[in-house]
Amino acid sequence: MSRRSVLIIYTGGTIGMVKNAKDGSLKPLDFENFYNYLPVLENYPVDISFKSLPRVIDSSDMMPAFWKEIGQIIYDNYEEYDGFVVLHGSDTMAYTASALSFMLENLNKPVILTGSQLPIGMLRSDARENLINSIEIASTYENDVPVVPEVAICFENKLFRGNRAAKINAENFDAFITPNYPLLAEIGVHIRFNKPFIAKPTFKKLRFYGDFDVSVGILKLFPGMPLSYVESVLLQPDLKVIILESFGTGNAPTHAHFVNAVKKAIEQGKIILNVTQCKGGSVMMGKYEASKHLLDLGVVSGYDITIEAAITKSMFLLGLKKQQKDEIKKLLATNLRGEMTIQDLY
């Protein structure tokens, strides 16, 4: 077995922050002094390299242009490293993980995103454990084949499929869940990989798609929505895909005003993707009368996809540009990267 190599890509966020000794303010870590904070890694049998985005950001400022930068770094260095660890703010980590999963087709190496709730320089920081675990997973191979050849999030001793994850807690170290998919691994004394649920290597050449079209909107349903609000989203001329955050298994109002607004939006050429507001469970249009009208109108089922994956998948498919509307609708309802489980009612 050859010695493994991992590239750490720093995008910003809490994990890479340390306190300024003079005024106590937080500043980005100088990675030349990285081993001062994690000396245990100096003797770890993995070659670790570092690369930062040209401009590190708070994850609240994450945009598709930054997704493209991260993906480009992975693509450009793909043959040089056995695995990749992306240091990222936790607030939008699930969006970036989902975006990377769609951008990197035929991925055969680990891309592990991690972050922390406390800066690495603080005494009780969760950054050290999250980072060490991520590096170990990114460099774990069996019979010269990576154990986790997909985009994943490593946080608080758990490994999640990236495009199935959602952040659910702003304070606890245990901040992420994948409500509709099992954990890829649990980390204790040993790392116990859940191999039946980890993607299998394709051994095909990596393909990179870096363009996103942000003509995507969200209409979150709630009781008493003004018709003017519904129409302002559904009939917004700049939107090509509208994600309908529906109730339960995909249910929505059946009154004429709402139905007519949906119908008019579809007639204008917009694609409407039905995603449940519930963290767990799946859209099953037609199960109840309150969703059959959406099925009849041509609304696309998002099944059990997360809102984060629905947004990034829509932007990704629109960004391919050559795809026609019917093809985009078909692909939205297709499991491309393990992001959803297809459960047809009929």
Distances (CA, A) of 177 to 68, 123, 163: 25, 26, 11
Question: Which one is catalytic: 11, 14, 114, 276?
Answer: 14
- CA 283, 285, 287, 288 torsion: positive or negative? positive
Domain extents for the chain?
4-208, 216-332
Domain 4-208 in CATH 3.40.50.300: no
pLDDT score at 21: 67
Average pLDDT value over all residues in the chain: 92
Q: CA 256 to CA 165: how far, in whole Å?
A: 36
| Distance of alpha carbon 165 from alpha carbon 176, whole angstroms | 7
Lowest mean pLDDT among 71-75, 103-107, 278-282: 278-282
The encoded tokens of residue 155 equal: 């946080």
Average confidence (pLDDT) over 267-275: 98
**Nearest-angstrom CA–CA distance, 93 and 103:** 15
Q: With helix as H, strand as E and coil as C, how does 170-220 read? A: CCCCCCEECCCCCCCEEECCCEEECHHHCCCCCCCCCEECCCCCCCEEEEE
Residue 346 confidence class, pLDDT cut points 50, 70, 90: very low
The continuous run of DSSP H or E covering 131 comes out as helix 127-138
Q: Among residues 159, 12, 28, which one has the least CA distance to residue 83?
A: 159
Among residues of the chain, what percentage have pLDDT more than 70? 96
Q: How far is CA 294 from the centre of its chain?
A: 27
Confidence tier at 24 by pLDDT (50, 70, 90):
low
Say if residues 203 and 211 touch (Cβ distance below 8 Å). Answer: no
pTM for this entry? 0.94
The Cα–Cα gap between 77 and 71 comes to: 10
Mean pLDDT over 229-254 rounds to 97
Exposed/middle/buried for residue 153 (C-beta within 10 Å: 0-12, 13-18, 19+): buried
Could you give the maximum distance between any two Cα atoms of the chain, in Å?
Answer: 68
User: What is d(CA 29, CA 72) in angstroms, rounded to the nearest whole number?
Assistant: 23
Give the integer Cα–Cα distance in Å for 156 and 124: 13
Tell me the helix, strand and coil percentages in the chain, rounded to 5. Answer: 30, 20, 45
| Mean pLDDT calculated for residue range 207-224 | 97
CB 114 within 8 A of CB 131: yes
Fold of domain 216-332? Rossmann fold (3.40.50)
* β partners of residue 273: 243, 300
- Number of other CB atoms surrounding residue 177 within 10 Å: 20
140 has catalytic annotation = no
Does the pLDDT at position 209 exceed 60? Answer: yes
pLDDT reading at 167 higher than 60: yes
